[in-house]
Structure 1
Amino acid sequence: MKKNFDYHGLIGEGNPLLRYPQLLEAAIDEFSQKKFEDASLNDILKKADMSKGSLYHHFGDKFGLYLALMDIIIKKKVSFFVPFLQKREDSGDFFDTVRDVIRGTSDFMFADERLHHLFNRNMEAGKELTEQLIQYFPYNYGAWFHKLICSAIESGQIDKKYSPEFIVKILEIMFSNVHKLLPQQVTPEQAIEAIDQMVTMMQYGIAAKKEDS
């Protein structure tokens, strides 16, 4: 990271990457295909027809560019599923809420598969990069679900033996790995069917029900 560079200035409405569509596309292409440490800044700049001096001025370094890119991606992904959470907040049906949120994540994937892969690469990033990014992003997916989970436990939809923290971890794993749970070359309709199966398995488990005697 570059000393004395204001990385916080890369976040939000003032994100300079919003003003450079060619750089945005080049960064998405490179970072969605490679891990952060393997991504080539030179290749990105060549595709974007931008000089290193200009990039260093606006973004500080490769980390700054990645930070600005993740800011755009996280906001875009959140915009897909937060409306489902807000709509379902008082519905009382926890598992239907989970279905809607995962469908929103699936919609995000179909909107631009590169962004989905890039977001998941970030979820699997090394400890150092993850800790650096956490400093800049206040998004707490678990907090959004905590109230819903507690209500579902109180209403008997979720067994009390499972803690809200444990369920949040399960949901985070599901949301970040939706693409791994779907068939290859999946259609939106097949995705919805697979999502329903995933949540049903979470809701009822996979043990076969005993037939009534």
Structure 2
Amino acid sequence: MSPEAPISEEAAAHAAKKAKIKAARDRMMQEKTGEKGLIIVLTGPGKGKSSSAFGMIFRCLAHGMRCGVVQFVKGSRTTGERDLILARFSDLCAFHTMGEGFTWETQDLARDKAAARAGWEKAKALIRDPENRMVLLDEINIALRYDYLDLAEVLDFLRDEKPPMTHVVLTGRNAKPELIAAADLVTEMTVVKHPFRAGIKAQPGVEF
């Protein structure tokens, strides 16, 4: 058996540095022992809000956790995530598309408000059920932005009626400051480049 090659000074310094980082991380993780149902807000002008939210929904499904989705804006147009959930995971995930498309498509204020209200009633029922570990309110921030729903009502419900271990995810641009203040986790998606600006249309597998 040949003797081990000596460790270089660079490798030894690297190992020592990483050992210190690991020790610090281990101490930090030992202090993080709490668990709670989170209010998660995904907002901003960049792409990825709903994509990120559905990533968490699929994580829940992978763990066998019950969850629910209410879509406040997206209409009847097919999407990959909805088709997959309805075909394969309908026993674990309730999926409700309550919107009728973007507001510039419907051009009917009363209809948009009624659709948002119906979506919110469905959302409350899903959130109240403690068996649902995560409920996604997709594009609810748009309904709140246009005052189709009362922000105070939504905040009061999340504060007073959300079960303690239920995660609620709220997506959409222009999240209200009060909602951001009430949330436990907020991520803002920014735009660096987007193919739409170069004339590329929305494509399956990327946008829907």
> TM (normalized to structure 2)?
0.25
Higher alpha-carbon Rg: 2
Query: Which one has a larger percent helix, Structure 1 or Structure 2?
Result: 1
Higher normalized strand content (fraction of residues): 2
TM-score normalised to structure 1 length: 0.25
Larger RCO, structures 1/2 (Cα 8 Å, 6+ apart): 2
